[in-house]
Amino acid sequence: MKYVGYYETAAGRIGIAEENGYITEVSLRADKAPPGAVAQETPLLKRAARQLEQYFAGERREFDLPLAPAGTEFQRRVWSALQTIPYGETRSYGEIAAQTGNPKACRAVGMANNRNPIAIIIPCHRVIGADGSLTGYGGGVPMKSRLLELEAGAKG
């Protein structure tokens, strides 16, 4: 069974979904439930919401949650690489492409970032353009900027 909970956070209303004991989605656009999900809070959803609350308060730098993002093998490699980016740091699309074993796959990395179903916890906001520019983000570039500023401020 898939469950979803909605929470008010410093980033606005978010939706967190779990299935079979794994977090499967964190949506910054919590306007509709994932297909087949039942709106019901579970202990895992509460734990995820608490960890996100701690993150937004600058008290948490790493998440300790079981994750199961649905995607292609390449997407999952990219999402795994994203999880190695330390809190408060960034990497370019090219660096992530090289880390996944395909240095020319910058655009594919961008598309995998765009399809990241577990925002913030899988930190696609930490990926920037090679020139340091803040490129697209599912939650919008202003949200990406806020998340990076939060991490830069809490890091010090």
Active site residues: 124
Beta strands 91-92 and 127-128: pairing type? parallel
Residue 129 belongs to what H/E stretch? none
Residue 71 DSSP SS3: coil
Place of tokens 């910054």: 28
- Residues 23, 112, 93, 125, Cα dihedral to 10°: -40
Is the separation of the CB atoms in 24 and 117 below 8 Å? yes
Strand partners, 20: none
